[in-house]
Amino acid sequence: MSDYQDTVLLERPEEHVALVRLNRPKARNALNMQLRQRLAEVFQELSADTDVRCVVITGNEEAFAAGADIRDMVDTSAVEMYLRHTERLWRAVSDCPHPVISAVNGYALGGGLELALNTDIIIAGEGAKLGQPEVRVGIMPGAGGTQRLARTIGKYQTMRLTLTGEIISAQEAFSMGFVSKVVPDAEVLETALSTARTIASMPPLAVEQIKEVVVHGPDASLEGALLMERKALQVLFASDDKVEGMKAFLEKRKPSFSGR
Ligand code: CO8
């Protein structure tokens, strides 16, 4: 396998579940351009794969990802930064139709935390350390950190994190509302995989509709978002899995979902 492909490893640990591992351990999984390009390719592949129903993304024991690679940016001009169009690479992650779970051990900093914030569920170990320390190196978040955090935890905590660069514990991040669950460090991946297993056992069309509405609804007015929700619900009434799910409940048996 080439160095480029090695930056992100893709595994299929069980049926319908994909596991993506960031793999630059010596650099605390800092997100260099190679890794980000490979990550986008992997997500494009997973998005198109209808056999995949849930994705888990993780790093290693020391780091989920310690941010954008500072070596990749130290001599970079504004024009070069613009021409990288990294928003296209991030979009490959945020546009994934399947739910994506971040399994976070160690550092999730800067672009690393933004990567997790681009996903749908964040499971963090007790020892995880999270923050947006970009200000300390003269820049600021650029992959949604200011906006996704402000929309999730509000202005005042976002200001505190982004203006001071303070690094906080998983428990504090959980209290603020941007970590879904905190578990012992050794149980992070298994918890993420078992959550993925549960989601993968649900009817996939319902899962995708729920994700779409939860992600896009908050950008619309409440009335518009409620309409979006009702339409998504009504569309599900056209699915075989709605018939199967309801019949199985009434017949007191386990449903068998086809994804249609
Ligand atoms: N970029 C490049 N290399 C890094 C990074 C990084 N973000 N983080 C760690 N490394 C490298 C170190 O340089 C070191 O390399 P070497 O062994 O060759 O000297 C190796 O990883 C190990 O690092 P440390 O020795 O520092 O390990 P420690 O365990 O002592 O500390 C820390 C770990 C606390 C994570 C520390 O490395 C650190 O503070 N890293 C930088 C964190 C940071 O500032 N992150 C924000 C970066 S800016 C950013 O993310 C901008 C986002 C903009 C838009 C989105 C684009 C992705």
ipTM for this model:
0.97
180: confidence class by pLDDT, cuts 50, 70, 90: very high
Please report which confidence band the pLDDT of residue 86 belongs to, taking 50, 70 and 90 as the band edges.
very high
For residue 219, the SS3 value is: helix
Q: Where along the chain do the CATH 3.90.226.10 domains lie?
A: 3-200
Measured from the CA of 107, which atom of ligand 1 is nearest?
A: 35
At residue 169, φ and ψ (nearest 5 deg) are -80, 165
Nearest atom of ligand 1 to the alpha carbon of 165: 44
What is the mean predicted confidence (pLDDT) over 80-88? 96
pLDDT score of 24: 98
pLDDT at residue 178, rounded to an integer: 97
Out of 37, 70, 76, mutate this one to test ligand 1's pocket (max ligand atoms within 8 Å of CB): namely 70
- Containing H/E element for 167? none
Protein residue closest via CA to atom 52 of ligand 1: 111
Which pLDDT band holds residue 2 (cuts at 50, 70, 90)? confident
Question: Mean pLDDT across the chain, nearest whole number?
Answer: 97
Active site residue 166: no
Active-site hit among 59, 114, 144, 173 = 114
Q: What is the mean pLDDT of residues 193-203?
A: 98
Question: What is the band of 106 on the pLDDT scale with cuts at 50, 70, 90?
Answer: very high
Q: Is 97 in the pocket of ligand 1 (CB under 6 A)?
A: no
**Could you tell me where in the chain the CATH 1.10.12 domains are found?**
204-250
Residue 206 has a pLDDT of 98
What integer pLDDT is reported at residue 167 of this predicted model?
98
Sheet bearing 8-14, strands edge to edge = 8-14, 17-22, 54-58, 100-104, 121-125, 181-183
Please say if 87 is a catalytic residue: no
Ligand 1 geometric centre to CA of 30 (Å): 6
Tokens of 205: 């069309």
pLDDT value at residue 1: 62
In angstroms, the Cα distances linking 248 to 76, 202, 245 are 58, 13, 5
Closest residue by CA, ligand 1 atom 45: 67
Query: How confident is the model over 233-254, as a mean pLDDT?
Result: 98
User: 247 C-alpha to center of ligand 1: Å?
Assistant: 53
Q: Alpha-carbon distance 147 to 180, whole Å?
A: 18
Mean pLDDT, rounded, for 97-117: 98
pLDDT of the residue at 201:
97
Comparing CA positions, the residue from 172, 166, 111 lying closest to residue 144 is 111
Specify whether 111 is catalytic.
yes
213 lines ligand 1 (CB under 6 A): no
pLDDT tens column, 41-60: 999 999 999 999 999 999 99
From ligand 1's centre to the CA of 15, what distance in Å?
Answer: 35
Give the count of beta carbons closer than 10 Å to the beta carbon of residue 109.
24
Q: Determine the Cα–Cα distance for residues 52 and 17; give it in Å rounded to an integer.
A: 6
Which of 155, 152, 85 has its CA nearest to residue 116? 152
68 is catalytic: yes
| pLDDT over 70 (residue 34) | yes
Percent share of the chain, pLDDT over 70? 100
C-alpha 121/C-alpha 178 separation (Å) is: 9
- Tokens, residue 102: 């971040």
| d(C-alpha 128, C-alpha 130), whole Å | 7
| CATH architecture group of domain 3-200 | Alpha-Beta Complex (3.90)
Taking residues 96-108, what's their average pLDDT? 98
Distance between Cα 233 and ligand 1 center (Å) = 44
If one looks up domain 204-250 in CATH, what number appears? 1.10.12
- pLDDT category at 67 given cuts 50, 70, 90 is very high
Give residue 146's pLDDT: 98
**Which ligand 1 atom lies nearest to the CA of residue 109?**
45
In whole angstroms, what is the distance from residue 71 CA to residue 151 CA?
A: 30
* Those residues with Cβ within 8 angstroms of residue 38's Cβ, 6 or more apart along the chain or in another chain: 4, 5, 7, 8
Query: Which residues, listed in sequence order, are joined to residue 182 by a DSSP beta bridge?
Result: 124
Percentage above 90 pLDDT, the chain: 98
